[in-house]
Structure 1
Amino acid sequence: MMLTRRSLLATSAAAGALAAAPLRAQSAMPVKMILNWRYQGPQGWFFLAEDRGYFADAGVEMTMDQGSGSGAAVGSVAGGGYDMGFGDINALIQLAADKPEEAPIAVYVMYNRPPFTVAVKADSDIHTAKDLEGRKLGGAANDGALKLWPAFADVAGIDTSGVEVLNFQPSLREQMLRTGEVEGVFGFVNTIRFSAMLSGMDPDKEIRFINYGDYGMDLYSNALIVSKRLAEEHPEQVRGVVAAIDRGIRDTLADPDAAIDAVARREALIDKRVEKLRLMATLSDEMGHPEIAEFGLGMPDPERLKKAIDIVVKANGLSRTPALDEVFTDAFLPPMADRITSLG
């Protein structure tokens, strides 16, 4: 389903016409979506899309549940519990290699810079990836960075034979690092940075990040993924949801405070100041790849995605290499002219 640039323009024009047509007059189709994490600032665009009626315009009655990790979202959609999710495309690549008939497909890639990291205390003697050898590390079992640990170790040349990995609940991550129960924790840079801030730590002074991207893992990350059943049986609704989320991101860029207010309507106890900082950092650090000027947000560079697939396959010793169109399709994207081409 990966289209050429010429066919993309033609398909996108047709898709845009379908997505633009209000479907409110029809009975709304229930759709269940699993998010990557608990309600936080970087999910504000989803909630703006809901609050401003964009999902309803697509003929969809959307239910969004909190998630337990970007990797877990892929399994939740593949298992049939959810129709779509906001999940890690690298976990999708692994599933597509092993169980292609079960794997969902990405339809809108949002995180185009690798956010994966191992965070250590700044006063530790861990300065490089090699320094992680023989250490006690920890993270949530479904964390995207932890799932990519074997791939990172392969790329960075880390001997993992003496590394101990402890699993614990996501809410304990910063506490486990602060108290020294583990020497490093897996996660997304901005998730750890701002969760540490909420726990009373100064991440700029107390935490050092060993970032996967600094060692050649030029990967994509979170994307809107949908079940193959939904894509095949309800393509108009999928196009509409993709367009709705694109509009939600555009609205977030125009008014970040409105996005944070939308999150607060779901989770009143959030620290709105910290969540706004988290949102703005996510936009710049995880979504601000220069390629969006050429391809538009949501559309990965096909050659870069192919290299990312190869990295994941090689490092994890997967049995086969999924084709591009088993991982991502551009068939549901709005026209390039209607998509975001700059986050500045």
Structure 2
Amino acid sequence: MAVVAVAGCTDSGDSGGDSASGELTKVTYLTAFNTFGREGYAYVAKEKGFFEEVGLDVDIQVGTGSGENMAALQSGAADFAPVDSTGYMLTKANGKTEGITAVAAVQQRSMVGIMTLDDKGITTPKDLEGKKLGDQNGATTSILFPLYAKLAGFDDKKVTIVPTEAGALGPALGQGRVDAIGQFVVGQPLIEKAAGGGTRKAVSLPFSDVITDLYGHFLLTSDKIANENPEMAQKFATALLKGMDYSINNPKESADILAKAVPETDVEVAAAEMVIMKTYTIGDAPKLGVVDADRVAKVIAILEGAGSIPAGKTPADFVKIDLAPKA
């Protein structure tokens, strides 16, 4: 994993470089987690010159998950990073992070879900009863699991959650130590490969099929950048989403571009992840990146109802709606 360097970050007082004059503003971006195929859109935006078009010189560094990414943004060690929206809202609402905000939706539908294999006999949520679910401590999947179970019509207390580190989830499932795992559903090709090279097929149970209002990742930045340099924040979001649009419509090329930057990339798996992500990225929104205040309010109500966040929060506590792309 790359070490995040503070020196790579922009001065928030700079409104963005002038690409015509060759003066580019340096900013640091963290991937959501690692360099899986689902992260290829940022590398596409850089390779295709989309960042440069808006006057930005972007240093893409390897993110290590939502908590670490939020900490890097809060400290100023990074300028932008995608973070699971639900995890972010839970963390911020409970006072575990501050000084950061969302400026766009990377995916319109949550990619959080449960993944199993076709030989486990789990095809519906209720089939999870009596089974073992591997998940990381404090993961969004585990936090939302009781609400998911209630809405899907099964008893969450009949499911044994086995604490499992992120890197051990695939092996735990493949080796039969658990029957299902908490996993972003876009990771299906990777899990199938880890479970036997495609001879066993993955089965996904997306939370978005049941809890329909949840967003996927939000693009986060610091309050300092959002307040003092909103133009640069919007330029970055526009270029990143342009990379996403290109990637979901050209998944093989996206995987090839990612492999140029990250040689160990499995191009076939990376392309397959991007194909799956297209549905979650677009959703029902008229364009990429849109964040709707009324919908965010519904998510807040869901989390309040689950007892996961204190009452009284508003969309403005989490998102700079005026900076997000408009429908």
* 1:154-204 deviation line (CA, Å, top 9, x unaligned): 54465444644333333322211111111210011121x111232254769
Aligned mate of 1:189, from 156, 167, 185: 185
* 1:226-252 deviation line (CA, Å, top 9, x unaligned): 111121122222121112112222333
**AA aligned opposite 2:258:** V
Give the Cα separation in 1 of the matches to 2:158 and 2:76.
37
Matched ranges for 1:156-175 at <5 A: 156=152, 159-161=155-157, 163-175=159-171
- Please report how far the alpha carbon of residue 282 of structure 1 lies from its aligned counterpart in structure 2 after TM superposition: 0.7
Q: 1:206 to 1:94 in 2, by over 3 A?
A: same
**Do residues 199 (structure 1) and 198 (structure 2) align?**
no
SS in structure 1 at match of 2:28: strand
**Do residues 247 (structure 1) and 250 (structure 2) align?**
no
**AA aligned opposite 1:278:** E
* Aligned partners of 2:135 and 2:169 also within 8 Å: yes
Aligned to 1:214: 209
Aligned mate of 1:105, from 97, 101, 106: 101
Aligned mate of 1:180, from 172, 176, 179: 176
Aligned to 1:287: 281
- Please report how far the alpha carbon of residue 102 of structure 1 lies from its aligned counterpart in structure 2 after TM superposition: 0.3
* 1:82-114 deviation line (CA, Å, top 9, x unaligned): 322111111222133222970522111121123
Aligned mate of 1:256, from 251, 254, 258: 251
- Higher RCO (CA < 8 A, seq sep 6+): 1
Aligned to 2:48: 52
SS in structure 1 at match of 2:219: strand
Aligned to 2:5: none
Q: 1:309 to 1:97 in 2, by over 3 A?
A: same
* 1:237-273 deviation line (CA, Å, top 9, x unaligned): 2121112112222333554333222211221122212
Give the Cα separation in 2 of the matches to 1:321 and 1:134.
37
Q: 1:155 to 1:169 in 2, by over 3 A?
A: same
Q: Across the two proteins, how many residue pairs are aligned to each other? A: 314
Which 5+ residue runs of structure 1 have no aligned equivalent? 1-18, 337-344
The two structures have a TM-score, normalised by structure 1, of 0.78
Give the Cα separation in 2 of the matches to 1:301 and 1:204.
41
SS in structure 1 at match of 2:244: helix
* 1:276-327 deviation line (CA, Å, top 9, x unaligned): 12111111x21231232xxx21113433332122112221432124211222
Q: 1:273 to 1:124 in 2, by over 3 A?
A: closer
Give the Cα separation in 1 of the matches to 2:67 and 2:147.
15
Give the Cα separation in 1 of the matches to 2:247 and 2:239.
12
Aligned to 2:12: none
**AA aligned opposite 1:67:** G
**AA aligned opposite 2:45:** A
Q: State the Cα RMSD in Å.
A: 3.1
* Aligned partners of 2:81 and 2:219 also within 8 Å: yes
Give the Cα separation in 2 of the matches to 1:45 and 1:120.
27
* Aligned partners of 2:114 and 2:180 also within 8 Å: yes
**AA aligned opposite 1:288:** I
Aligned to 2:61: 65
Which 5+ residue runs of structure 2 have no aligned equivalent? 1-14
The two structures have a TM-score, normalised by structure 2, of 0.82
**Do residues 32 (structure 1) and 28 (structure 2) align?**
yes
Q: 1:153 to 1:200 in 2, by over 3 A?
A: closer
Percent identical across equivalent pairs? Answer: 22
SS in structure 2 at match of 1:260: helix
Q: 1:332 to 1:302 in 2, by over 3 A?
A: closer
* Aligned partners of 1:151 and 1:312 also within 8 Å: no
Q: 1:117 to 1:228 in 2, by over 3 A?
A: same
Higher normalized helix content (fraction of residues): 1
